[in-house]
């Protein structure tokens, strides 16, 4: 386990702080970047951004992600995989630990997660009224994906489909943020967002390696569990190549401006992370550098692409 202190009642005396920590706030940054990328995609299309709509979109997306995080912890606690995880690298793998450490009860966490998801609905309805009916389809698809990622009967991650769910969810964030401003569907946010969504999926992918023993014991057959560490380690590089290859293709066909190639710079971080995983796939404690590099690659790629699209 890492040296970062896990949450406890002694360290979190205020109830509001306990619930805040349960959302895993540090990981909400990828959603923040995804919304920025969607807004930048709309801006590239000549759309004048509406600040109020953009702000509500950001809150809408962050609430949905926070709710999905808590729901994931809730169902992982029910399955027993987080309790059995003694090779976790906190705070990156093994959940928020608020349930296992007695900060929140299982029931409190479940109610909180579903409440957060429910709070997304009024914001989504307001955005739909101001942007277009198509946003309902995007929002419903996003909420369904966030719920189905962990919850039965779908349990996408436990069926080896977690990476597909994560890619879809973060692509929908970019598409939805673009739609609110554009008021119509466009291929532009797909061109801008698919590579970013794949890198977010790689965060999930590498995080599954330290959890593999606990997941196996709990019957949570993630893609890494199904492939085994020796074969699964090459999947990381494949996902990264798909991301950066997508950007190259989109620039080549004119869907992204030439300056978007600057978003390929985080490939260096992805390459170093892939090396780390290739050498230490079966040694959880040695994967911390690769996990950090993976998060950095996804964040920097999204921020760089959002910046150049907005400036262009």
Query: ∠ CA(72), CA(300), CA(82), 5° rounding?
Result: 20
Cβ count within 10 A of residue 285: 11
Question: Residue 34's domain spans which residues?
Answer: 15-311
Q: What is the CATH number of the domain that holds 283?
A: 1.10.600
How long a stretch of residues is the chain?
312
Q: Helix H segments across the chain?
A: 15-22, 29-44, 51-79, 106-131, 134-148, 162-182, 188-207, 212-217, 223-227, 229-252, 267-280, 288-311
How much is the pLDDT for 273?
Answer: 98
Whether 146 contacts 68, CB under 8 Å: yes
Residue 222 falls inside a structural domain: yes
> Does residue 167 sit within a domain?
yes
Rg of the chain on CA atoms, in Å: 19
Please state the φ and ψ torsions of residue 47, each to the nearest 5 degrees: -85, 130
Q: Is residue 196 assigned to a domain?
A: yes
**Average pLDDT by stretches of 10, the chain with 312 residues:** 78 95 95 98 96 96 96 94 92 94 96 96 94 94 91 92 96 98 97 98 97 93 95 97 98 97 98 98 95 98 97 89
> Angle at CA 13, nearest 5°, toward 8 and 18?
65
Place of tokens 């554009």: 182
Q: Is residue 6 part of a domain?
A: no
- Is 290 a domain residue? yes
Torsion of CA 76, 89, 16, 19, to 10 degrees: -10
pLDDT reported for residue 3: 58
151 is a domain residue: yes
Q: Write down the number of H helices and E strands in the chain.
A: 12, 0
With residue 108 as reference, give the H or E element that holds it: helix 106-131
Query: In the chain, helix, strand, coil percent, each to 5?
Result: 70, 0, 30
- Contact between 101 and 8 (Cβ < 8 Å): yes
Report the pLDDT value the prediction gives residue 312, as an integer from 0 to 100. Answer: 85
Q: How many CB atoms lie within 10 A of CB 24?
A: 20
Q: What is the pLDDT of residue 4?
A: 75
Question: How far apart are the C-alpha atoms of 181 and 50, rounded to whole Å?
Answer: 7
Alpha helices in 6-50 (DSSP H): 15-22, 29-44
244 found inside a domain: yes
pLDDT at position 2: 44
Has residue 4 been placed in a domain?
Answer: no
Kindly report whether the global pTM for this prediction surpasses the value 0.85: yes
Task: Please give the Cα distance from 35 to 75 (Å, whole number).
Answer: 27
Question: What are the tokens at 233?
Answer: 């380690």
Q: Evaluate the omega torsion of the peptide bond into residue 71 and state whether it is cis, within 30 degrees of 0.
A: no
Distance CA 191, CA 34 (A): 13
- What's residue 1's pLDDT? 42
The total number of structural domains that make up the chain: 1
Cα–Cα distance, 112 to 193 (Å, whole number): 30
Crossing angle of the two packed helices 51-79 and 134-148, in degrees rounded to 10: 20
Q: How far apart are CA 174 and CA 246, in angstroms?
A: 16
């Amino acid at each position: 386990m890492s040296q970062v202190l896990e949450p406890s009642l002694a360290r979190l005396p205020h109830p509001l702080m306990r619930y805040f920590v349960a959302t895993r706030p540090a990981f909400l940054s990828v959603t923040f970047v995804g919304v920025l990328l969607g807004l930048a995609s709309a801006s590239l299309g000549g759309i004048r951004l509406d600040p109020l709509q953009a702000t509500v979109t950001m809150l809408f997306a962050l609430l949905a992600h926070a709710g999905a995080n808590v729901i994931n912890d809730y169902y992982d606690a029910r399955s027993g995989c987080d309790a059995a995880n003694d090779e976790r690298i906190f705070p990156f793998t093994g959940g928020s630990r608020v349930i296992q450490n007695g900060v929140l009860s299982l029931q409190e966490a479940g109610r909180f997660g579903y409440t957060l998801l429910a709070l997304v609905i009024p914001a989504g309805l307001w955005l739909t009224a101001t942007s277009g009916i198509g946003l309902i389809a995007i929002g419903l698809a996003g909420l369904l994906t966030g719920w189905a990622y962990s919850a039965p009967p779908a349990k996408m991650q436990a069926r080896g489909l977690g990476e597909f769910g994560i890619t879809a969810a973060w692509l929908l964030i970019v598409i939805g943020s673009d739609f609110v401003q554009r008021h119509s569907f466009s291929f532009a946010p797909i061109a801008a967002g698919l590579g970013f969504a794949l890198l977010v999926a790689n965060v999930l992918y590498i995080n599954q390696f330290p959890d593999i023993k606990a997941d196996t014991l709990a019957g949570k057959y993630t893609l890494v569990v199904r492939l085994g560490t020796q074969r699964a380690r090459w999947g990381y590089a494949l996902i990264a190549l798909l991301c950066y290859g997508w950007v190259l293709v989109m620039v080549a066909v004119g869907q992204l401006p030439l300056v978007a190639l600057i978003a390929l710079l985080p490939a260096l971080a992805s390459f170093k992370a892939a090396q780390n995983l290739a050498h230490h796939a079966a040694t959880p404690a040695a994967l911390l550098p690769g996990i950090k590099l993976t998060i950095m690659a996804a964040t920097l790629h999204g921020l760089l692409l959002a910046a150049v699209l907005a400036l262009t």
